[in-house]
Amino acid sequence: MTALAGKEGQDWKEKLDAHVREMVEWHFNPETGSPFWLDFAKKLDWDPRKEVKTYEDLDKFGFFQDEWLRGGPVRRWVPKGLADKPVYVFETGGSTGVPKSRISIEDFRIDYELFSETLPDQYFPKGADWLMLGPSGPRRLRLAVEHLAQHRGGISFCVDLDPRWVIKLIKWGEMQMMERYKSHVIDQAVTILKAHENIKCMFATPKLLEALCEKVSLKKMGITGVFCGGTEMTPQFHRFAVEELMEGAYFAPTYGNTLMGLAVHKPFVPEDNYAIIYYPPMPRALIEVVNPDEPTRIVGYGETGRVRLTTLTREFFMPRFLERDEAERELPCEKYPWDGVRNVRPFSRLQTSVVEGVY
Amino acid sequence: MLHIPILRKGEPYRSIDIAKVPDFRTRETFVEVSQANAGLIRRDLVDQDSPRKALTAFTTDELIAMSKRAAEYFMNDTLPVGDQMQTPDDYVRQLSATTGMPHILVRKNMNKIRGVMAEIDSVLSGLTRGLDLKILDAGFGVHEGHAVSFFPRTQSLGVILPSNSPGVHSLWVPSIAMKIPLVLKPGSSEPWSPYRILQALIKAGVPKEAFSYYPTDHGGAGAILQYCGRGMFFGDSASVGKYANDSRIELHGTGYSKVVLGDDVVDEWEKYLDVMVASITENGGRSCINASGVWVTRHGREIAEALAERLSRIVPRAVDDPQALLAPFANPDVARRISGIVDAGLNESGAVEMTEKYRGARLVEQDGCTYLLPTIVYCESNEHSLANREFLFPFASVVEVKPEEIPEALGPTLVVSAITNDENLIERLVSSTLVDRLNIGAIPTMVIGWDQPHEGNLFEHLYARRAFQRATAAA
C-alpha cells in the first residue's frame, strides 16, 4: 500500500479509501459506468462495487493493460454518467506503435487547476501570458497549458510540434533534419517571445528549453517562470537548468502523462542535490514504485523499481498500470504527506526498444 | 575516490551525473568520471570565439615550442588529474587498470604521443607540405613563389575518442599548434590520456580556455560533432557510418589493414614472416593499423600455419610483465561475443582456424582476466565472412586471391603494406581509392610516419586555401 505519514497521512488514507469506493461505484454502476468497465465486470466472478473497499483492494483488478487503450471504439471509455458532455480524445506520444488514446472531458482542466495552486504567483504572475513550447496535435499538453494560462488570467501562445516526426527522423538517422526541425520550432518561439512582451511564463520540454536558451536569454525575454516536463529529466539537467538556463526564473519540473495527469515537483532544497522528486495529485492519481518481477509488491523507501500508476477520476479509471519508467520510492514530505518518486527515468529493461522523443 | 571532472574551456566542473569506471580485474569502481549533459555541451559551444582568440594570441612558433615542452611534461612530469596529482607511473597504472592494457604497451603508446608533440614541427611540415608556418599567423604569404592564403574552416575541432589504444591521441594533438581549440569526448574507459595531454599542454603555456573535455553519452557526442565546425570520430563501423555523408567529420572506423604479398615475392614468404607477425600483434592487436589480413596469391595455407605457430607463443602475462603483449578485455562479455562471432564464421565452409592446435581454446581466463588468444584463420576465398574482419585482439585471416584481383578485392583498407617489386601492382595500389595509407616494401602496418596524413590530412581538415591577390600600393 501507499504509506502515508502521521495523522495527516492517516486522514489522507481514509480520504483515499473513500475516494476509491466512490470511483468504483461510479465506474461499475450500470447507470454511470463506461461500457468498457461494465463489460469488464460482467466477466468477473466478483462484484467490484461490493468487494472494493480500500485502495489495496484495487489489486483485485489485476494490471491495467495499455493495449486496451490502443484502437477503438474510443466511446467505450466514456462513462454513461457523462455521456452528454463534450468529449476530447488525447493520445500519448506514439513512440511505440499505435498510440494509446484516452478520453477526457474536464480532467485536464481540473488537473491543471490543481497544478496551478502549486505555482508561486511571484514567478508565474496572474494575468501574465504564456508560451507553450511543447508537443501539439493530439496531445493534451497543448490544451492543458492553454487552460492553465487562462485559469491564471493569461493567454497562451503556441507553436506546432509533432514529436512523432522527430522520432521518425531519429530512427532514420536524419539527425541534421531533426536539428533543422528543432530550429524551426525554436525560431517560432523566439519570434513570439520578441513580439509579445506580456509573456512571462512558459511551458517547455527539457530539450526545447535548452535549445531556446542557446538562442535567447530568458531574462532578457522577460520570462520569470518555466514549467518543464514531457520527457525525462536527470538531476544534472535540473541543476544545469537552475544554475545556467533560468537566470533567476523559477523552474517547475513535472512528471505526467495523458493517462495519469500531472505530478508536481517537491520544492527545491539544497539537501536533495537536484534530485527530481515528484508527488502525484492524490487522490485523483497515485504513483507507486513496485518490484519489476513482482509488481504487486511496493519496494522499500529509497529502493528502485518500476513506476506503477493508478488513476481514479470520474472520467477515467485506470488501476495498476505499469509505466515504462523506473524510479526510487520517496518518503512523504510536509507539503505532500504521501509517497513520491525520485529521479524517474526510462525503465532500463525496456530501454533498447524505445526511442524517446527529443522534442 | 579519484574523480575526473569535466573541463569547460579549461575550468573543472563536477557533474551530478557520475560514471563509475571499474578496474578490469576486480570490477570495483576505480575512478569516477563526471558526465556532461548534452545541453551543457551545446551551451558551452555557443561561444567558440574566445577559445580561438586565446590561441591566436600566440604565434605558431610559440605554440610549437609549447607543444615540445608539453611532450616532456607528458612523459616525465607529475600533472594534475582531477583533485589529485599523477606521476607518469600513476598514468601507466591507471590506464592499465581501466583498459587492461599491459604496462609495456601503455609506455609504448605514451612514447608515441610524446613523439608527436616533440616532433610537432616535422609533423606540421609534413601536413602542410613544407609551408612556412608564419603564413598561418598572417593568414597569407608567399609559398614557393606563389601568393597563398589560408583560413580556418572551424573555430574548434571536436573529437570523439575511443578506449582501445592511446596512440590515436597523436592524431588530434597537432590541432593546438594550428591554433584550433579542442573539444574532446574521451573513451568511456580511457579518460586518462586526453586529460594528461591537456594538462601537459596547459603547463607548457597553452591557454586552458583552448581545451574542453566532456565525458558524455551518445547524445553529448552528437552535440560535439554537430556544433564543432570540424570533427574527428573514432568508432566502430556502425557508429561512424551515420556520419558517412558529413564532410565536416573525419571518420576513423574499422581499419581492415592488410599485408599483401605480391605474386613476385610470395614464394619467399618466409622472409617476411616477422613483418606479418609484427603487423598483426603489436600493441596487442588493438589498433586500426594492425593487420587483420594477410592477402597472398599462393602458399596461403603454409603462411597461415607458420603465423599460427608464431602467434601461439604469445600468452597472457601479468600487466606489469615487460614481456606482456596481450591485453585482457575490460568487459569479459565483449570477449565472449567476439569469440562467438569468430566461431560462427568458422562454421561456414571454406575457413579453418590454424591456431587452435597450437594454443588450445581461444577464450581463456587467467588470474581473473579474460583474454582472446591470437587467432589465425585461413580463408580459401575472399568471399568468406571471416576474410575481411577486424577484432579487438590479434586476429588475422590469411586469404588467397588472384593476382589481378588486388587491390579491388581488398575492399576499403586503412593501411596496406605491399611487399612487392611488381611495378604494375604498385601502380594499381597507388591509383586505388580503396587504400588509405600505403607502405611499399617490408614495412609493418604499425610503422607510422607522423609527417604523413592519416585518414585525411588534419591541416586540410582544419584549413582551406583561398584565392588571394594583393595590389601593390600606388606610389
What is the extent of the structural domain holding A196? Answer: 69-353
Mean pLDDT of chain A: 91
CA dihedral B13, B15, B18, B22 (to 10 degrees): 0
Residues B249 and B261 in one domain: no
pLDDT band at A274, cuts 50/70/90? very high
pLDDT tens for residues A221-246?
999 999 998 888 899 999 999 999 99
Decide if A193 is inside a domain: yes
Residues B152 and B201 in one domain: yes
Sign of the C-alpha dihedral computed for residues B49, B50, B51 and B54 taken in this order: positive
pLDDT band at B366, cuts 50/70/90? confident
Q: Based on C-alpha coordinates, what's the Rg of chain B? A: 23
The cell for A157 is 501562445
Decide if B292 is inside a domain: yes
Residues B234 and B361 in one domain: no
pLDDT band at A352, cuts 50/70/90? very low
A179 touches chain B (CB under 8 A): yes
- Measured in whole angstroms, how far is the alpha carbon of residue B121 from the centre of its chain? 20
pLDDT band at A258, cuts 50/70/90? confident
Residue B284 reports pLDDT greater than 50 = yes
Decide if A42 is inside a domain: no
The CATH number of whichever domain residue B325 belongs to comes to 3.40.309.10
Interface A–B counts its CB contacts (< 8 A) at 42
pLDDT tens for residues B379-397?
999 999 999 999 989 999 9
Decide if A306 is inside a domain: yes
Q: How far is CA A307 from CA A255, A256, A286, A346, B177, in A?
A: 12, 12, 10, 10, 53
Decide if B469 is inside a domain: no
Element (H, E) at A31: none
Q: How far is CA A83 from CA A101, A104, B364, in A?
A: 18, 12, 70
Decide if A6 is inside a domain: no
pLDDT value for B450: 67
The cell for B194 is 586526453
The cell for A327 is 524510479
Q: Tell which wins on pLDDT, B301 or A93.
A: B301
Decide if B182 is inside a domain: yes
For A303, other C-beta atoms within 10 Å of its C-beta total 11
A213 touches chain B (CB under 8 A): yes
Domain stop point among B222, B253, B284: B253
Sign of the C-alpha dihedral computed for residues B186, B190, B194 and B196 taken in this order: positive
B63 phi and psi angles, rounded to 5 deg: -70, -35
Decide if B467 is inside a domain: no
- Which residues of chain B have a CB within 8 Å of the CB of A206? 39
pLDDT value for A128: 97
Q: How far is B191 from chain A (nearest CA, A)?
A: 20
Decide if B452 is inside a domain: no
Residue A2 reports pLDDT greater than 60 = no
Lowest mean pLDDT among A24-33, B148-157, B282-291, B412-421: B282-291
Asked whether the beta carbons of residue A237 and residue B43 sit closer than 8 angstroms, the reply is no
Residue A353 reports pLDDT greater than 50 = no
What is the ipTM metric for this complex? Answer: 0.84
Nearest CA-CA partner of A341 in A292, A273, A278, A290 = A278
CA dihedral A280, A85, A27, A4 (to 10 degrees): 20
Do B190 and B95 form a contact (C-beta atoms < 8 A)?
A: yes
Dist. CA A231–CA A229, nearest whole Å: 6
Residues B234 and B326 in one domain: no
Say what angle helices B192-203 and B60-76 make with each other, to 10 degrees: 120
Decide if B89 is inside a domain: yes
Query: What average pLDDT score do residues A22-33 get?
Result: 97
pLDDT value for A230: 80
Residues B310 and B248 in one domain: no
Asked whether the beta carbons of residue B43 and residue A207 sit closer than 8 angstroms, the reply is no
- Total number of domains in chain B: 2
By C-alpha distance, the chain A residue nearest B18 is: A236
Residues B73 and B169 in one domain: yes
pLDDT band at B239, cuts 50/70/90? confident
Residue B31 reports pLDDT greater than 80 = yes
Residues B195 and B92 in one domain: yes
Give alpha helix (H) positions in B151-299: 174-177, 192-203, 218-227, 237-241, 273-281
By C-alpha distance, the chain A residue nearest B17 is: A236
Do A25 and A18 form a contact (C-beta atoms < 8 A)?
A: no
Decide if A50 is inside a domain: no
Mean pLDDT of chain B: 93
Residues B288 and B403 in one domain: yes
B215 phi and psi angles, rounded to 5 deg: -60, 130
Give alpha helix (H) positions in B256-299: 273-281
What is the extent of the structural domain holding B418? Answer: 257-440
Query: What average pLDDT score do residues A90-114 get?
Result: 86
pLDDT tens for residues B411-446?
999 999 999 999 999 999 999 999 999 999 999 998
Residues B265 and B224 in one domain: no
Residues B362 and B412 in one domain: yes
> For the whole model, what pTM was predicted?
0.88
Query: What average pLDDT score do residues B46-70 get?
Result: 97
pLDDT value for A195: 96
The CATH number of whichever domain residue A320 belongs to comes to 3.40.50.12780
pLDDT tens for residues B113-169?
999 999 999 999 999 989 999 999 999 999 988 999 999 999 999 999 998 888 889
pLDDT band at A298, cuts 50/70/90? very high
Residues B76 and B180 in one domain: yes
Query: What average pLDDT score do residues B9-31 get?
Result: 95
When CB atoms are compared, the residue of A210, A244, A274 closest to B16 is: A274
Element (H, E) at B413: strand B413-419
By C-alpha distance, the chain A residue nearest B45 is: A214
pLDDT band at A359, cuts 50/70/90? very low
pLDDT band at A358, cuts 50/70/90? very low
Q: From the candidates A169, A175, A246, A351, which should be mutated to test the interface with B, based on the most B CB atoms within 10 A?
A: A175
Do A221 and A245 form a contact (C-beta atoms < 8 A)?
A: no
pLDDT value for B473: 64
Residues B423 and B295 in one domain: yes
Lowest mean pLDDT among A106-110, A290-294, A331-335, B462-466: A331-335
Decide if B281 is inside a domain: yes
Decide if B466 is inside a domain: no
Letter for the amino acid at A357? Answer: G
DSSP B161: -
- Which residues of chain A have a CB within 8 Å of the CB of B15? 236
A227 phi and psi angles, rounded to 5 deg: -105, 120
pLDDT band at A96, cuts 50/70/90? low
Lowest mean pLDDT among A48-57, A126-135, B157-166: B157-166
- Total number of domains in chain A: 1
Dist. CA B239–CA B251, nearest whole Å: 10
Helix, strand or coil for residue B330? coil
pLDDT value for B251: 87
